[in-house]
């Protein structure tokens, strides 16, 4: 059930979800091919700019600077939007945001609301809230439409249906849209989506979008997209509601000159995405007659209050880290059981959801290979933050046998004598499990290792014993 924002569902630990996911060959093949395509494109367009690293420096710094000035920038943004005829709402949490959106949509007389792909509205479970209120949300982004028709959760920030290949999408459209003749040509599938949504766009009363950024000094809200569904929604609806995390605000107009270079190149590997919409409040005779901007906290201030974790709020949701991730490559996005999957999800979800919301296994769903940090356009130290989140889990949850072992190991390493004694002890204790220099029984925590790997036994002579012998000789 895609409406069940992961956090409201019972948390599922990553290792067990991943164990099932790695056996889904179809999904893994789809994800692998998609990753390969997008990685190559990103590398190519990033390499085109010889100032790419300078743009990343600026991107990181301008996001940090905006975050550190949030107290001033949000009221400034509010003022600019209000002065241009928009209405600004503040929402402490998901529930409050959903209430506001439902209230505004109802007042506008809508039965059907069009949606532009928005992670923030996925995060707050808006579709379910709309349905409970008797309103019908209609996803207009192709991949979101696929997920909505399939009743599945998105599995990727940017390409929510990355786990599905063209044939699966064709079958879904045949079944749900009644298009028996459809082939699996991507062009035809896109055409089917166009035909399906056209009428809805033309009669749109209320549309809901997220925002990629908002410029405080000008009151400009920015939505970046490809298909034109974003333009349709932000232009043709009578009433436009934008739900935006408070961290998305930037200070200056010229900050966009950085973000609009970093984002498309990192996200879809394009020099520029087909459409970027920029608007301030309402404009007489052009676009919606009413504009509502919902500024959402829902855990952002919690992340802001943690100085180590704060840079996670720099994230511009490009998903380059996900595309680079070797773990995601094997599992796809559903194994994370979160709205934000992959490396960014593993550091963002624990912050947004707070102490009890999500499985503590998420920050451990990484080999810390660092491929994510290498590509992050705003230079978030993702491995560093994963370690930070691990530390929070370790301190807050009981770690059982693992915790006891690691603390014991810490004490062993703290003294040379204890360490050397432990080496000798290991050699002795392993005897019953060892044959021909290999460990043959994998017990307890070693069972996982033994599932795919041999393990050499501790050899008769450690390095330090050899060194001592040699010294004596």
Partner 1 sequence: MRVALFVTCLADTLAPGVGRAAVTVLERLGLGVDFPREQTCCGQLHWNAGYADEATALAARFGEVFADAEVIVTPSGSCAGHVREHVPTLVPRVAHVAARTFELSQLLVERLGVEDVGSTYAGRLTYHPTCHSLRLLRVGDAPERLLRAVPGVELAELPEATECCGFGGMFSVKNAAVSSAMLAAKLDAIASSGADAVCACDASCLLHIGGGLERRGSPVRAVHLAEVLAG
Partner 2 sequence: MTAREEILRRINVALAGATAQPVPRAYRVAGELDRDGRVALFRRRVEDYGGVVLESAAPGETIAAVLAERGARRIGVSPDLDEALLPVGVEVVADDRLTPRQLDALDGALTTCAAACAETGTIALDGGPGQGRRALTLVPDLHVCVVRRDDVVETVPELLARLEASARAGRPIVLVSGPSATSDIELTRVEGVHGPRRLVVVLVDRPPA
Map residues 283-322 to x or -, x wherever contact with partner 2 holds by CB under 8 A: x-xxx-------x-x---xx-xx-x---------------
Give the Cα separation of 18 and 28 in Å (integer).
12
**Residue number, 140 or 319, with CB nearest to ligand SF4:** 319
Only one of the segments 126-134, 248-256, 375-383, 394-402 lies at the binding site for partner 2 (rule: CB under 8 A); that segment is 248-256
Phi and psi torsions of 298, nearest 5° = 45, 55
Query: Least Å distance between CB 3 and partner 2?
Result: 20
Spell out the residues 6+ positions from residue 340 whose beta carbon is closer than 8 angstroms to its own: 119, 123, 157, 348, 349
416 binds partner 1 (CB under 8 A): yes
Q: Could you give the dihedral angle defined by the CA atoms of residues 121, 124, 126 and 127, in that order, rounded to the nearest 10 degrees?
A: 90
Give the Cα separation of 242 and 77 in Å (integer).
14
Other CB atoms within 10 Å distance of the CB of residue 324: 24
Query: Least Å distance between CB 312 and partner 2?
Result: 13
Residues 228 to 287: which contact ligand SF4 by CB under 6 A? 266
Residues 454 to 473: which contact partner 1 by CB under 8 A? 454-456, 458-459, 461-464, 466-468
Of 3, 14, 70, the C-alpha closest to 349 is 14
Only one of the segments 4-12, 52-60, 186-194, 410-418 lies at the binding site for partner 1 (rule: CB under 8 A); that segment is 410-418
* Element at 449 (helix H, strand E): helix 446-450
**Residue number, 122 or 227, with CB nearest to partner 2:** 227
> Under DSSP, is residue 343 helix (H, G, I), strand (E, B) or coil?
helix
Query: Least Å distance between CB 62 and partner 2?
Result: 5
Residues 302 to 331: which contact ligand SF4 by CB under 6 A? 315-321
User: Edge-to-edge strand order for the sheet containing 87-91?
Assistant: 87-91, 290-296, 239-245, 206-209, 112-115, 136-139
**Residue number, 72 or 374, with CB nearest to partner 1:** 374
211 binds partner 2 (CB under 8 A): no
**Residue number, 17 or 298, with CB nearest to partner 2:** 298
Map residues 330-359 to x or -, x wherever contact with partner 1 holds by CB under 8 A: xx----------------------------
128 binds, among partner 1, ligand SF4, partner 2, none (CB under 5 to 8 A by kind): none
Spell out the residues 6+ positions from residue 119 whose beta carbon is closer than 8 angstroms to its own: 157, 210, 317, 339, 340
Kindly provide the b/e burial profile for residues 24-39, where b requires at least 16 CB atoms within 10 angstroms of the residue's own CB. Answer: beebbebbeebbeebb
Q: How far is CA 168 from the centre of its chain?
A: 24
Residues in a beta bridge with 434? 439
Query: Least Å distance between CB 441 and ligand SF4?
Result: 41
Distances (CA, A) of 303 to 202, 246, 298, 335, 352: 40, 12, 10, 24, 7
Query: Least Å distance between CB 245 and ligand SF4?
Result: 12
| Cβ atoms 154, 6 nearer than 8 A | no
276 binds, among partner 1, partner 2, ligand SF4, none (CB under 5 to 8 A by kind): partner 2
297 binds, among ligand SF4, partner 1, partner 2, none (CB under 5 to 8 A by kind): partner 2
Among 11, 85, 357, 370, binds partner 1 (CB under 8 A): 370
226 binds partner 2 (CB under 8 A): yes
Among 138, 204, 250, 380, binds ligand SF4 (CB under 6 A): 380
Query: Least Å distance between CB 53 and ligand SF4?
Result: 15
* DSSP sequence for 18-69: HHHHTT-HHHHHHHHHHHHHHHHHHHHHHHH-TTHHHHHHHHHHHHHHHHHT
Phi and psi torsions of 439, nearest 5° = -75, 130
320 binds, among ligand SF4, partner 2, partner 1, none (CB under 5 to 8 A by kind): ligand SF4
Structural tokens at position 471: 């010294």
243 binds partner 2 (CB under 8 A): no
| Cβ atoms 173, 161 nearer than 8 A | no
Residues 56 to 95: which contact partner 2 by CB under 8 A? 57-58, 61-62, 64-65, 68-71, 74-75, 84, 89-92
15 binds, among partner 1, ligand SF4, partner 2, none (CB under 5 to 8 A by kind): partner 1
Query: Least Å distance between CB 339 and ligand SF4?
Result: 13
Residues 14 to 33: which contact ligand SF4 by CB under 6 A? none
Query: Least Å distance between CB 355 and partner 1?
Result: 15
List contacts with ligand SF4 (CB under 6 A): 266, 315-321, 344, 375-378, 380
């Amino acid at each position: 059930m895609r409406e069940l924002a992961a956090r409201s569902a019972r948390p599922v630990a990553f290792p067990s979800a991943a164990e099932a996911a790695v056996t889904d060959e179809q999904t893994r093949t789809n994800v692998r091919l998609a990753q390969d395509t997008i990685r190559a494109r990103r590398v190519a367009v990033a390499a085109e700019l010889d100032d790419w690293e300078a743009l990343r420096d600026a991107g990181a710094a301008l996001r940090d600077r905006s975050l550190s000035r949030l107290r001033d920038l949000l009221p400034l943004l509010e003022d600019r939007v209000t002065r241009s005829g928009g209405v600004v709402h503040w929402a402490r949490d998901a529930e409050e945001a959903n209430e506001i959106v439902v209230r505004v949509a109802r007042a506008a007389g809508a039965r059907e609301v069009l949606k532009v792909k928005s992670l923030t509205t996925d995060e707050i479970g808006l579709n379910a809230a709309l349905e409970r209120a008797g309103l019908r949300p209609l996803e207009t982004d192709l991949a979101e439409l696929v997920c909505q028709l399939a009743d599945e959760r998105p599995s990727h920030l940017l390409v929510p249906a990355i786990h599905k290949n063209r044939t699966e999408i064709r079958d879904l459209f045949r079944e749900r849209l009644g298009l028996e003749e459809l082939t699996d040509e991507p062009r035809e599938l896109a055409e089917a989506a166009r035909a399906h949504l056209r009428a809805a766009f033309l009669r749109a009363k209320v549309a809901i979008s997220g925002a990629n950024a908002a410029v405080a000094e000008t009151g400009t809200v920015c939505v970046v997209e490809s298909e034109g569904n974003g333009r349709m929604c932000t232009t043709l609806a009578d009433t436009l509601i934008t739900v935006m995390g408070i961290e998305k605000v930037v200070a200056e107009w010229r900050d966009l000159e950085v973000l609009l270079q970093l984002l498309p190149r990192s996200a879809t590997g394009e020099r520029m995405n087909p459409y970027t919409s920029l608007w301030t409040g309402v404009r007489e005779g052009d676009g919606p007659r009413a504009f509502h901007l919902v500024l959402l906290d829902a855990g952002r201030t919690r992340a802001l209050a943690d100085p180590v974790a704060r840079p996670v709020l720099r994230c511009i949701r490009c998903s380059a880290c996900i595309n680079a991730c070797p773990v995601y490559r094997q599992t796809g996005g559903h194994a994370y059981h979160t709205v934000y999957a992959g490396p960014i999800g593993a550091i963002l979800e624990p912050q947004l959801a707070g102490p009890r919301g999500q499985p503590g296994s998420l920050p451990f769903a990484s080999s810390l290979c660092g491929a994510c940090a290498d590509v992050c356009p705003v230079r978030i130290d993702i491995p560093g933050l994963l370690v930070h989140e691990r530390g929070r889990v370790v301190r807050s949850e009981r770690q059982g046998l693992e915790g006891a072992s690691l603390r014991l190991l810490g004490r062993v390493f703290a003294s040379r004598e204890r360490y050397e004694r432990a080496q000798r002890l290991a050699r002795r204790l392993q005897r019953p499990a060892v044959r021909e220099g290999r460990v043959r029984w994998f017990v307890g925590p070693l069972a996982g290792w033994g599932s795919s790997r041999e393990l050499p036994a501790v050899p008769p002579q450690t390095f330090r014993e050899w060194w001592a012998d040699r010294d004596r000789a």
